[in-house]
Structure 1
Amino acid sequence: MSPAAPPGVEHYLYYRVPDAAATGLRLALLAEQAALCAAHPGLEARLLERVDPAAGQRTWMEIYRRPGAGVEEALAAAIEARMAAHCAAAGVGGRHLEAFRALPPCA
């Protein structure tokens, strides 16, 4: 990315997953993230987890970034369509999206 290029938007999606659904859903989401990265050059995707053993669930966060171009509207829609379908099939809802733009570094 050139210094003059504006930083792109990064997407952070978080939601709760019951422990019983975690293993199967994790495998499906990681496979889908790999397919999305292959289909959209430069896209970087991660899946993070926070476990709350007392609650019997975990909080997951999907992170998507693409240096330079960012996660534009069409890509965001493709991500949500594919990932939300797996979550819905596993009985997981309540996906919350936060979008952030990196600030330019100090001169």
Structure 2
Amino acid sequence: MKDLYIYYQVREEQVQALEARVRAMQHKLAQDSGVAPQLKRRPETKDGLQTWMEIYPVVGDSFGALLESAVQQAELLSLTAGARHMETFMDLPPCA
């Protein structure tokens, strides 16, 4: 299992519209897959832009395709300032 971290920027004037879409998308993903998504943002705004992060902990290999489809259906890219960047992390095995 792995965790997905997706970060991107949003213009201040798009914040409310984007938040509504992301939360609706995450709610549906949670219902469909059982994942427990999170939505975060950096505390500061710079040059009229906020940096947001979506976190999807403990997902399987097929979740990335499900997420990409949900992003397209929600038309998130029309409200972001640039691309969405995805990072994947996995747990380190415990020391013996």
* Interval of TM-score (by shorter of Structure 1 and Structure 2): 0.7 to 0.9
Identity of aligned residues (%): 32
Alignment gaps of 5+ in structure 2:
none
Q: CA deviation at 1:91?
A: 4.8
Aligned equivalents of 1:11, 1:23: Cα separation in 2:
23
Matched, 1:62 2:50: no
1:29-73 per-position Cα deviation (integer Å, ceiling 9, x unaligned): 0111010010012x110111014334111001110013xxx331x
Q: How many residues align?
A: 95
Task: Point out the structure with max Rg over C-alpha.
Answer: 1
Aligned equivalents of 2:87, 2:94: Cα separation in 1:
21
Matched, 1:49 2:41: yes
RMSD: 1.7
Alignment gaps of 5+ in structure 1:
1-7
On the 8 A contact 2:21/2:76 being kept in 1, the answer is no
Letter in 1 for 2:8: Y
Q: Which runs of 4+ in 1 moved over 6 A?
A: none
TM-score (norm 1): 0.77
